[in-house]
Each structure stands twice: as C-alpha cells, then as structure tokens.
Structure 1
C-alpha cells in the first residue's frame, strides 16, 4: 500500500512568510527522487529552487504559476512506498529531512517518468476554490474539512464559538491576522475552515459580512452627480510584491527612521583611470573600476569607523562594526537589489573584482540567496552607469551611510595652475546624522576624493 505524503512550502529563512510560484519543475504523475528540485519560487529576497524531501509519484500540485502561497501551505503530494511494478525504480520512500533547505541539496534529479498513481493511493486533489472574491488560500483546504467545534455554521465556517480559550490562534498568514485586527474581528470567536481549524482569510471576510448584515444601516439615496463632474482617473495597478515589495518596505522604513544628510564633492579621476589602465595592461585578471572604488571605501572606513555602524534605538547606542560587508546597488529585470561582498576589508582589488562579477551575474539571473542580500554594513552606489552626475540616495536600512559615484566624463578643470580637460566625477555621501556630525562625514568624503585624485595615497594602507 502506498502512502500519500503532503509536502508544504518550507520556511525559507530571513523572516520570509510567503513566496510566489514561478515555475513548476514536475507534473502530476512524475516520479521524483528524494531531494529532487520540484518548484522554483520567488521570495521577497531571491529566486529559490525547492527540493522535495520524499521520493515517489507526484499525485497533486497546489497553486498555479504566479500564485502566492504562505509558508506552511501545501505545495504537492507524493505517493511513497508503492510497489516497484507501479513506479518502476522510483526513489527511496524515506524523506531526507531537508524540508527547510530552501536551496536544494545538490542531489542529481531523477529522470522524469509519467506513471499512473499506484493502486490504493488516494490522490489528494485540489478542492474547488471559494466563490469569486474569496481568498485563494481557502483553495488548499482538504475536502470534507468540518468545523467540529460547535457554533453557528454557514458555508463551512462558524462564528460565536471560542475554540481557543488559551494559547495562540492558528492563522494561515500574518496578512490575515492584520485584516482581523484592523477590522476589530476577535480571532478567538472564529472557527477556522482550514486544516485542523486553521483560520483563513475567507473566514475573516465571512465574519465581516455577517456582522455587516446584522447592523447594516439604511442605504441613503445617492446624491445627484453634477453633469460637469470629471470622470475618475483609471490606471494600471502593479502589485508591490517580491523583490519590488521588499525594496518598497525597506526604503519606507529608512525614510521613517533615519535622519539622513548628504554632502558631495567633485574629484579629478584622471589618475585613477590611468592607474586602472596600467594594472590591466600588466596582464592577469582585469580590475574593475568598482573594485578600486570599493578598496578606497574600505580604506576610508578604517579611518572613519563611525560610518561603518548601525543604530540600536532600543538600547540608545551606536554600534560600530568590526567587519566591512560592502553592499553595492545592482539594477536587474526584477528590480533593484543590493548584493553584499563579505569581508570586503580583507580583499585586494583582484578579489573584489572577482566577487563583484560573481554576485552581479547571480543578480542578473535571479540566483542570489537571501544570505547574499543581507548583512551589509555600508553600501557603494555607482549610479554613474545610468549617465547621471549626482544623487541623494536613501540609506540601505539599517546601515549608516552610502557612497554615491556619478559618471566620469571629460570636463574643464584647473590642473597644476592651468586649465585642462580632465576626467571628473562627482562623489556624494549620504549618512545617518545620528552616528556622526558633518565634520566626520566631510572627512570621510574628502579622503575618498583624495584617493581618487591621487591613487598612491592608498599605498599607505596596502
């Protein structure tokens, strides 16, 4: 006899509560091996390929591509322990235990084989979804789930009971909990229609409709509409979710919490460009301009450690950090991301160039892991690639500063007492005014400009 096991969307770490299905890698009827990658999902931080901890035959999938599911919602079901004649060499039926891996275990995928579900395995089918307007999460409720706890029941839901006198109330997602809180719904009064009494969004919305029906005031006659009134504007609504939603949340928080200020200076980058050309002409791996700027940043942060810090408002302390984990802004098709170069202060120009290239390629293909997108202590923003000279960027919360670099272009410049055409760049520093004053910020930016104009200054710290 085969046993049908349900694989749920695992906790992918970093406090993520939901993910969007991007692409299914298996279909119903396929034979899967333990730890085979079965679905590609997009979280608020990265694209993740999820491995299945069971080996057997896929009997059901939950969610179409583009569907957003909360952590803990069913992804698929697998019939394991079937006779060998039914699945012809299916993988071992024991789970790997790597349910929370999130990025795969490196096991080679089994050759896909379409078979019929084995006899005796009751496929878990996706039940009919709720009426239009109901939450899609209700579509994952197994058929036949009842309330079983008393209370007035209607449409598979009941209100007026108190099934959770003590302890936390099981709710399918934080969004549902917030919906209840904002509308004054006591979750302890609800009977969840999900598995094991899980409260779904549809349950909260049903309670709101029931309350509105009991105390609905008379509907006043509509006021006459002036004939000359302009028609309301309509436009395209783009959901703020995935990477774009995470960026929106982080930037909004930065603006709310950080009192930032910006200072800037023009610098003659002619000698820096010549030094880079000489390095690359000598053979060996090519050195990127971003790597040289990063090396200048780490040297400046060693002199001005206040800018490599974070603010703990609960303790009312500024925490100066020992290591420099350097973030850099990268624009991708999925939006703005900030990969992080770990221990940038311990890398030379070649090592920085190689790491920037690796992370940039991972960002372009959407393969950055959450660990590669978090933990930065200072950010380098080369917005000159967009053809602009200056900017006042928003600090990458919870960091304390960001160095901006504009485009490097020929400009008239007084060099050694004479007017000449030089390669000029505008540098800007946006900083958290809680960690330092303008003198410290100005000193940092001036040191960076000195290194750009006279790269030999860096020899002191190499």
Structure 2
C-alpha cells in the first residue's frame, strides 16, 4: 500500500537554523530515487544540494525559489510504494553507506507516514553538503493519472491547479542553461530575467555575471541601450516599474533627513553570518592589538629561489601567503596559548592540539574564511596547494560547511587591497588573528646604512584572556624574525 512521506529541511549542522531555496531540482510528478538531490539551498556557510532519503513520486513542494525555510519545515512530500512494489525506492538504496565524512541530519519523515504495516525503504539520513556519492538517477515524469493512482484516497495530496501554458518563446534555448555560478542564477532571479533567453559571452556560450548585468542595464534603460543577443525587450504597454518613494531617514543626532529612497539590504546568508560573528566577537572577547614592521626582503628572495628551481626537483609555485602560513604554524608550536579557545560556561581556556588554519578570502558572496585542516603537519608547498584549492572553491561558491568551520587561528592578508595596516577582529571563537599588510619598498636602516627594502606591517589581535602582552609580543616577534631571516625556520623544520 503506498504511503505519502514528508521530508523536512534537515539540520545542516554548525548552528545553521535556516536556508534559502536557490533552485528546485525536481518538479511535482517526478520520480526520485533514494538520496537523489532534490533542491539546492544556500546557507550562511555554503551552497549545498539536499538529497531526499525516500524514493518515489514527488506529490508536493513547499517554498518558492528565493524564499527562506527554517530547519524542520516541510520541504516536499513523496508518495512511496511499500513492500515489493517499491521499484522506485530501490534505486540508489544503500547509497548512504561508504559515504564521505560530513555532518548528518536525520530525515524527518515518520510523522507524515501512513499507517500501513509494510516498511518504507529509505537511506535514513542526509549527508549535508556532500551528497551520498551515489550516481544521480535520471528524472522521469509520470502522467497525473498515474500519480493519483499511486496515492491512497485517504491521504491528502496537494491539488493540481490547471495553469494556462505561456506563449512559446522562439528565442529560448532548449535544454540546460549554460550557467555555472549560482551567483549568476541568483542575480537573474532577483531581476526576473530568463537565462534561457540570454546568449553567454563565456567559453562555449557560458553565461557570465557581466552578461546578466548587461541585460539588467538594458532593461532599465528601455530601448535606449542594446539588449544582449536573444533577449526580448519588455512588451509595449507593460506596467512600468514602481518609482522609488522618498523616505525620512533618522540621523544619529535624532533629526530626520528627507531625501531619495533608502536602500535596504537584508543581513542574511554569508553577510548575515559574518555580521553575527563579528558582533559576538566584539561583545565577548576583550581583544588587544600589537603590531610591528618587518623587512621582508630576504623572505621575497627565498620565495624567488624556491620558484626558480627547474628539473625534477621543481614543484608548484609557492605563494607568499603559503610561506606566512607555514611561519604561523611554527610560531603556534612555540606559543600554543594563541591556538586555543575560551569555554565561558566552564571558565576554562581550552588549548587545541591541532592547528586548523583559516585564511580570509574575499568573494562575490562576501568575506569567507576557508580552513586548512591540520596545517601543523603540512609544509609550505602542501599548505599553498590547499589554499589554492579552497580559494578556487570559494570564488565558485562550492565550499562545504565543513571547509568553512572549525578553524583555530586565522591569517588575514589584507595587503591584497593595497593597504599597509589594520586591526583585525578575532574570528570567534578563536583566540587570535594575524594581519598582513602589503609588501612595498620603503627606506630602511639595513646593516647601519639607509637602504630601500621590502617592508611589511604585521599586526596581531589576541584575546587578552588567554595570554598577556608578553606572550603575544613574543609570538609576533618570532613571526617578524622568520620574515626577516627565513633561515630561522630551519630550526623547526
């Protein structure tokens, strides 16, 4: 006897309580296999595909694309055959076994199950952010009559409302849309753009963000600007966009300022998570900052020598960030107080045995901090390769929650923005962050004479509860000594 099971948005781990629906991967009436991804959601950590633990026919979906759902809210319902008739459920059964690591949220479907005596086959869990490793079964659409027959009369099913089919668009490109970046899809969705009508300027027709922004500008300017190839202008007589209404904005002095419409940007997703973490850091951590200028000429020369090696001994290029990361792991081995966290409830300082090194990366989605796991066991080449991999994933929006959490110390290279110094805010619940400014030629007293050297400013913000200024100063001085004399590292290698 068929049953209708309700699949709820699972707990995505790491304190996440909600997710935004980016794209549905199935329609009502589709047949899905066990552990087949059914929806793509965006959390404050990453973009993830959520697999369904049941196999059967999708009878209802809850939530439109662009809407937010709390954890535990209904996501979709699936009509599942019980016993020997569960042909669709058998597809992908056991795919959850042998999966990669990651947090697991229990599938909440028992509440929506019928009272039949047979057992419904399911994977039993959802591997958050990773999928299950099983090949995704092809979707096949079934006739509405077949769906109705598969669902018992006593189980309510979302009614099917007939909708008039829209006029065919001759310029639409059949098949999947040539879009890779979820940011491009989200931008198009926010401005009601049909990506099937756009011609991409990227390789093999890939639609880039510039293509979408060009289409948005063209629509905003009407016929005064050329539209991208294959994009239709608004129909004549269409309702114009509502004009911005001037609003009164209260100033800090209590006065009201009349002016143009204020733009309100929701603090959610990555931006909201960063805002919450930084605010909590300022509230809870009594931080202090110290800094020092260092002569990085020898470090830059050492890096050039490493990257100039040819022949069998040559390896991938080593970046300055990778060298600084390796220096940090050596410094944390000498000053383990800074690789710790504070347990407020127990009023204890917890020193951590492994160094999970985070590094700040600016992306189109905002500031993210990918984490290099077990950095204390890696050399500069290995750290550099992992930083490159995580940076590429961050820019493409493919970082998993596990790659964005669990850091114990953060390295922030704000020199890429062309600034010399800053006072970093600690990445809660860590105890310290090292900031690195740009490396630029400056006058410097070298061996008793004035010379032009490559100088960098290093700043360390630390939690004053875990150590005093002497420890923080010793840590920063060791970093500066290794920058000025890379041979110092040989003592710890």
Question: Under TM normalisation by the shorter chain, which class is it?
Answer: 0.7 to 0.9
Mapped to 1, the partners of 2:89 and 2:468 lie a distance apart of 68
Kindly indicate whether the alpha-carbon contact (under 8 Å) linking 1:84 and 1:90 is maintained by their aligned counterparts in 2.
Answer: no
Find the counterpart in structure 2 of residue 125 from structure 1: 158
Find the counterpart in structure 1 of residue 57 from structure 2: 57
Is 1:290 aligned to 2:321, yes or no? yes
Deviations, residues 61-101 of structure 1 (Å, cap 9, x unaligned): 11111110011111112222299999999947721212464
Over aligned residue pairs, what C-alpha RMSD do you find?
2.7
Mapped to 2, the partners of 1:435 and 1:50 lie a distance apart of 39
Which SS does the other structure have where 2:315 is aligned?
Answer: coil
Find the counterpart in structure 1 of residue 81 from structure 2: 81
After TM superposition, the structure 1 = structure 2 runs for residues 231-246 of structure 1, keeping only pairs within 5 Å, are 231=258, 234-246=261-273
Find the counterpart in structure 2 of residue 247 from structure 1: 274
Find the counterpart in structure 2 of residue 224 from structure 1: none
Kindly indicate whether the alpha-carbon contact (under 8 Å) linking 2:81 and 2:89 is maintained by their aligned counterparts in 1.
Answer: no
Deviations, residues 366-412 of structure 1 (Å, cap 9, x unaligned): 22222222221111000111111100011011111110000111222
Question: Which runs of no fewer than 5 residues in structure 1 stay unpaired?
Answer: 129-227
After TM superposition, the structure 1 = structure 2 runs for residues 408-447 of structure 1, keeping only pairs within 5 Å, are 408-447=439-478
Find the counterpart in structure 2 of residue 20 from structure 1: 20
Kindly indicate whether the alpha-carbon contact (under 8 Å) linking 2:89 and 2:121 is maintained by their aligned counterparts in 1.
Answer: no
Mapped to 2, the partners of 1:265 and 1:78 lie a distance apart of 61
After TM superposition, the structure 1 = structure 2 runs for residues 19-418 of structure 1, keeping only pairs within 5 Å, are 19-81=19-81, 91=91, 94-99=121-126, 101-117=128-144, 118=146, 119-120=148-149, 121=151, 124-125=157-158, 231=258, 234-282=261-309, 283-418=314-449
Superposition deviation, residue 345 in structure 1: 0.9
Find the counterpart in structure 1 of residue 486 from structure 2: 455
Kindly indicate whether the alpha-carbon contact (under 8 Å) linking 1:381 and 1:402 is maintained by their aligned counterparts in 2.
Answer: yes
Kindly indicate whether the alpha-carbon contact (under 8 Å) linking 2:56 and 2:89 is maintained by their aligned counterparts in 1.
Answer: no
Change in 2 beyond 3 A, CA 1:32/1:410: same
Kindly indicate whether the alpha-carbon contact (under 8 Å) linking 1:33 and 1:54 is maintained by their aligned counterparts in 2.
Answer: yes
Mapped to 2, the partners of 1:114 and 1:57 lie a distance apart of 9
Deviations, residues 206-263 of structure 1 (Å, cap 9, x unaligned): xxxxxxxxxxxxxxxxxxxxxx985477411111111111111111011011111111
Change in 2 beyond 3 A, CA 1:116/1:434: same
Runs of 4+ in 1 over 6 A off after TM superposition: 82-90
Kindly indicate whether the alpha-carbon contact (under 8 Å) linking 2:32 and 2:88 is maintained by their aligned counterparts in 1.
Answer: no
Of stretches 1-10 and 74-83 in structure 1, the one that deviates more from structure 2 is 74-83
User: TM-score, normalised to structure 2's length?
Assistant: 0.69
Which SS does the other structure have where 1:327 is aligned?
Answer: strand
Which SS does the other structure have where 2:480 is aligned?
Answer: helix
Deviations, residues 403-447 of structure 1 (Å, cap 9, x unaligned): 000011122222222222221111111111122222221111111
Change in 2 beyond 3 A, CA 1:124/1:73: farther
Kindly indicate whether the alpha-carbon contact (under 8 Å) linking 1:4 and 1:78 is maintained by their aligned counterparts in 2.
Answer: yes
Aligned length: 363
Which SS does the other structure have where 2:337 is aligned?
Answer: helix
Superposition deviation, residue 318 in structure 1: 2.2
Change in 2 beyond 3 A, CA 1:127/1:422: farther
Change in 2 beyond 3 A, CA 1:314/1:10: closer
Kindly indicate whether the alpha-carbon contact (under 8 Å) linking 1:41 and 1:50 is maintained by their aligned counterparts in 2.
Answer: yes
Kindly indicate whether the alpha-carbon contact (under 8 Å) linking 1:324 and 1:343 is maintained by their aligned counterparts in 2.
Answer: yes
Which SS does the other structure have where 2:443 is aligned?
Answer: strand
User: TM-score, normalised to structure 1's length?
Assistant: 0.73
Which SS does the other structure have where 2:302 is aligned?
Answer: helix
